Amino acid sequence: MRATIKDHIRESRLFNERAAVALVIALLLIGVIIARLVYLQIISHEHFATLADENRINIVAIPPTRGLIYDRNGVLLAQNLPAFSLEITPEQTPDLEATIAGLRSLLDISDEEVRRFHRQARQNRPFNSIPLKFHLSEEEVARFAVNRHRFPGVDIEARLIRDYPLGPLAVHAVGYVGRINEEELKTLDAANYSATRFIGKTGVEKYYEDLLHGRVGYKHVETNALGRILREVSRTPPVPGADIYLSLDINLQVLAEQALGERRGAVVALDPRNGEILALVSMPGYDPNPFVTGIDPAAYQALQSSPDKPLFNRALRGQYPPGSIIKPFIGLAGLDYLLLAMGTTSFCPGWYSLPGDDHRYRDWKKEGHGRTDLEKAIVQSCDVYFYDLALSLGIDRIHDFLARFGFGQPTGIDLTGEAGGLLPSRAWKQARRHEPWYLGETLITGIGQGYTLATPLQLAVTTAVIAQRGERIRPHILYARRDPEEPALHALEPQALPPVELAMPRHWDQIIAAMEKAVHSIRGTAYRIGRDAPYRIAGKTGTAQVFGIKQDEEYKEEEVAAHLRDHALFVAFSPVEEPRIAVAVIVENGGSGGATAAPIARQLIDYYLSSQEPSS
């Protein structure tokens, strides 16, 4: 019911009043907006302009090209080859799983490759492209290209992939690169490696990683919100890594590897004058190329579980009892400490026993060497003479003297993972075995058995010390480097170590003469290589026991299982008058050093000295 009659004029006035209020409120609210805009666009303009630029400009790292590796004569050992890889940018891929499944139906992609992709994808930003498969063949590239439209965010990239043209040759020296793992990611310079996918894993590739890697470059690019690059704004080119030249002579390396053949063993050859490693062989080896992009687990498992241990670097990490190789050093100690005369003799009945003990320490020659002086003891490798000498010296002096040559500690070669060997002492035994030192242990230390262990590298380096009459130089495998955009090679300066100084320098000559006779005299243990040698070699054979024989038993090679046979050892340097090469050879379970190891050394010396002739 309408009680009131509408008053139009009053209603109109009331409305106008309300409309005016509404207008004022609206204008006030617009005032708020304007105040906000003044704040955003004028007061904070700088701040937001910076933020907009940060949004817009992205820094993209450009990987440097890894330096090449050559041998001393310029033979290429490691290079970078362009290879097609299939890469996925996760952010631009709508359904990652479906994309991978689709790609797998098109190309041959293993579970392992998928697994590795996911691991990499987790470590990267979603707009970075992650390789799924490396080394696509031309045919695979073509097959993908036809179907490309089905796979947004997937691309074929041409990248430089490390390649070792000589395959397994010198693998234990050169090493290989592989994809950076999480562990390495924690320690490396994240900025410099921001575009790098590979890092040196072993060998020279690892030791000289810093040299080979180079400096990362950058480009500032304008990107959109998805991270897609629209335009390059500026660029700082990367600095490629330095090319490096190894002191290895690859021909010598080939020769040594072929000489060892199917046998397990190691060869180290170096120039005693400057410490340059000429050959560093550990056999068997393996092909490093599959490791670069990721070896498939079955193949890796096969390498890992092989009884021949191809992955094990025997030259650097294999620790063997030096056996009779130690004798020239013990002889030197005798000359130096005891002022022993070369002519001093002792009688060798074929065995030795300590006073008050009926344990017989055997000589390798059952019937004995008879009356023996130091020279004969080295030439014929008489054990009894050295039992006696070791007893006279005592373990403390033996330890101190051998330590001066570098036994028991890493040589400091420019390769990682080197083992230090073992030079026993009273203190060592007390600390490690909680036992006192026994006299019998001194005896067997005198013939390089017992606790003493040395790596093939150590044997070569210590032999070089004799060759240089006490001069010690840190062994090295880097010969020279060539920095980017500089044609000149920078040779590495050899680094001298504290020399071994004897009371009488002629003692060197005496020991070297004995070692020379061990090779060249008809009774010498290595006469078979010295017989027809056109130059003079000083050497020493050795046989390292793998298998302990009981007191009343006799070692018969044919009766002992192959893997328990003695290791054959030989060290040598040549020419005696002016040594240019020192060699250590070890053939695992090879039997006698003179028969097995020495001929290998002879081949190396033959080749090396002839290749050094002025005519060639």
Partner 1 sequence: MIGHARPERRWGDRRGARILVRGLHLDIPLVLALILLSLLGLATLYSASGQDMAMVERQLIRLGVAFLVMFMLAQIPAHHIERWAPWVFGGGLLLLVAVLLFGETGKGAQRWLDLGLFRFQPSEIMKIAVPIMVSWYLAEHPLPPRPRTCAVALLIIVVPVLLIARQPDLGTSLLIAGSGLFVLLLSGISWRLVAWSACVIAASAPLLWYGMREYQRERVLTFLDPESDPLGAGYHIIQSKIAIGSGGLYGKGWLNGSQSQLEFLPERSTDFVFAAFGEEFGFIGIMVLLALYIFILVRGLYIATQAQDTFTRLLAGSLILTFFVYIFVNICMVTGLLPVVGLPLPLISYGGTSMVTIMAAFGILMSIHTHRKLLST
State how far the Cα of 490 lies from the Cα of 481, in Å rounded to an integer.
5
Min separation Cβ 247 and partner 1, Å: 54
The active-site residue, picked from 247, 324, 346, 574, is: 324
Q: Does 24 bind partner 1 (CB under 8 A)?
A: no
When the beta carbons of 152 and 410 are compared against partner 1, the nearer one is 152
When the beta carbons of 54 and 138 are compared against partner 1, the nearer one is 54
The residue type found at 591 is G
Min separation Cβ 61 and partner 1, Å: 21
- In the DSSP assignment, the letter for residue 243 is E
Q: Is 574 a catalytic residue?
A: no
Do strands 581-587 and 154-163 pair parallel, antiparallel, or not at all (unpaired)?
Answer: unpaired
Q: Does 439 bind partner 1 (CB under 8 A)?
A: no
Q: Which stretches of 332-414 are assigned E, i.e. beta strand? A: 345-348, 351-352, 361-362, 370-373
Q: Does 11 bind partner 1 (CB under 8 A)?
A: yes
- Closest Cα to residue 520, out of 534, 531, 535, 511? 531
When the beta carbons of 22 and 81 are compared against partner 1, the nearer one is 22
Task: For residue 221, give every residue at least 6 positions away whose Cβ sits within 8 Å of its Cβ, in sequence order, or none.
Answer: 57, 58, 59, 60, 229, 230, 231, 232, 233
Min separation Cβ 45 and partner 1, Å: 4
3-state secondary structure 142-197: HHHHHHHHHCCCEEEEEEEEEECCCCCCCHHHHCCEEECCHHHHHHCCCCCCCCCC
Stretch that binds partner 1, among 20-28, 187-195, 266-274, 574-582 (CB under 8 A): 20-28
Q: Does 496 bind partner 1 (CB under 8 A)?
A: no
In which region does residue 485 sit, left (phi positive, over 0), alpha (psi from -120 to 50) or beta (all else)? left
Region 274-313 residues binding partner 1, contact defined as CB under 8 A: none
Min separation Cβ 27 and partner 1, Å: 7
Q: Does 22 bind partner 1 (CB under 8 A)?
A: yes
State how far the Cα of 420 lies from the Cα of 422, in Å rounded to an integer.
7
Q: DSSP characters for 3-71?
A: -S---HHHHHHHHHHHHHHHHHHHHHHHHHHHHHHIIIIIISHHHHHHHHHHHHEEEEEEPPPPPPEE-
Q: Does 125 bind partner 1 (CB under 8 A)?
A: no
State how far the Cα of 241 lies from the Cα of 362, in Å rounded to an integer.
57
When the beta carbons of 43 and 503 are compared against partner 1, the nearer one is 43
Region 203-262 residues binding partner 1, contact defined as CB under 8 A: 222-226, 230
State how far the Cα of 75 lies from the Cα of 244, in Å rounded to an integer.
11
When the beta carbons of 6 and 366 are compared against partner 1, the nearer one is 6
Min separation Cβ 17 and partner 1, Å: 8
Give the total of residues touching partner 1 (CB under 8 A): 47
Q: Does 14 bind partner 1 (CB under 8 A)?
A: yes
When the beta carbons of 23 and 564 are compared against partner 1, the nearer one is 23
Q: CB–CB of 410/453 below 8 Å?
A: no
When the beta carbons of 36 and 433 are compared against partner 1, the nearer one is 36
Min separation Cβ 128 and partner 1, Å: 17
CA-CA-CA-CA torsion for 454, 340, 468, 514, nearest 10 degrees? -80
Min separation Cβ 34 and partner 1, Å: 7
Binding mask 26-65 for partner 1 (x = CB under 8 A): xx-xx-xxx-xxx-xxx-xx-xxx-xxx-xx---------
In which region does residue 339 sit, left (phi positive, over 0), alpha (psi from -120 to 50) or beta (all else)? left
When the beta carbons of 14 and 549 are compared against partner 1, the nearer one is 14
Min separation Cβ 93 and partner 1, Å: 18
Residues that bind partner 1 (CB under 8 A): 2-8, 10-12, 14-19, 22-23, 26-27, 29-30, 32-34, 36-38, 40-42, 44-45, 47-49, 51-53, 55-56, 222-226, 230
* Catalytic residue annotation: 324
